Amino acid sequence: MNHKILNGITNIQTAVYIILMIVLTFVVIFSLYELITMVLYDLFFDDSPYLLQNAGILGFFEFFLLILIGLELMDTIKSFIETKKIEVGIVIILAIIAISRKIIVIDPASATEFELIGIGAIVLALTAGYYFVKKADSLKSEN
């Protein structure tokens, strides 16, 4: 009886992951469409050189990295559906991209020293974590 309940829960989880993957796919596609149309519109139809100014470039990178985060989330979900295991390396890469996005768009004038130190500590921790995960994977593959 318990085995049937666990299988049912596993099937529900898989269905939820697939639905999330479908929704996330649409979000990434529409975000990519919006990014392309925003850039093309600003380049060809807008009289202001906003896209070529710092704020425009930062806005482009912020949007670009959000799409990249969406793609990495899709990769995480796909990997889980296929293997039923969370790939720690993919999750760490996702966190590195997210913190990189924060670093790129942060206004240093308004950020406190503690925020900048915290971001630095997070970058160091993620980098060390990724290194150790890859090191463990390479040791596992050697054996």
- Is the confidence at residue 95, as pLDDT, over 80? yes
Q: What is the pLDDT of residue 50?
A: 54
pLDDT tops 90 at residue 125? yes
- Residue 49 has what pLDDT? 58
pLDDT value at residue 22: 94
Alpha-carbon distance 123 to 129, whole Å? 10
- In the predicted model, is pLDDT for residue 56 greater than 80? no
Reply yes or no on whether the pLDDT at 52 is more than 70: no
Label residue 137 left, alpha or beta by phi (over 0 means left) and psi (-120 to 50 means alpha): alpha
pLDDT > 60? residue 51:
no
User: CA–CA distance from 24 to each of 35, 80, 113, 134 (Å)?
Assistant: 16, 15, 35, 27
For 41-93, give the secondary structure using H, E and C: HHHHCCCCCHHHCHHHHHHHHHHHHHHHHHHHHHHHHHHHHHHCCCCHHHHHH
Number of domains in the chain: 1
- The residue segments making up the domain with residue 86 are 2-142
- Predicted pLDDT of residue 24: 93
DSSP secondary structure letters along 10-44: HHHHHHHHHHHHHHHHHHHHHHHHHHHHHHHHHHH
Q: Which of 92, 105, 95 is nearest to 131 (CA)?
A: 92
Locus of tokens 């482009």: 60
Question: What pTM did the predictor assign?
Answer: 0.73
